[in-house]
Amino acid sequence: MNIFDMPNSAEAKIRYLDADYQVLSPGTFVRCAVTGKPIPLDELKYWSVQRQEPYVDAETSLKRELEFMDRN
């Protein structure tokens, strides 16, 4: 069993800000907008303020950014 399978584990609702975030609804993790993988809040380092979505790592963040650049 991992932390995400525990009964008191809940997905947090977050407002992503520049260099910080605000917890709107408490929880232990958020889900990566690209992969769907859970990200523990204490490991959350990558997100988009503009799109208000988290990413599991820098590579995934770059991938998402390039997807949006290709659309424009």
pLDDT digits (tens, 9 = 90+) for 29-39: 999 999 999 99
**Does 69 score more than 90 pLDDT?**
no
**Does 45 score more than 70 pLDDT?**
yes
Share of the chain above pLDDT 90, in %: 79
Show Cβ contacts of residue 2 under 8 Å, excluding neighbours closer than 6 positions: none
d(CA 53, CA 41) in angstroms, rounded, equals 13
The mean pLDDT value for 41-59 works out to 97
What's the domain range around 63? 3-71
pLDDT value at residue 9: 81
Alpha helices in 1-72 (DSSP H): 58-71
Tell the residue number behind the tokens 């997905």, with chain if given. Answer: 11
For the chain, how many structural domains are there in total? 1
At 32, is the secondary structure helix, strand, or coil? Answer: coil
d(CA 44, CA 23) in angstroms, rounded, equals 12
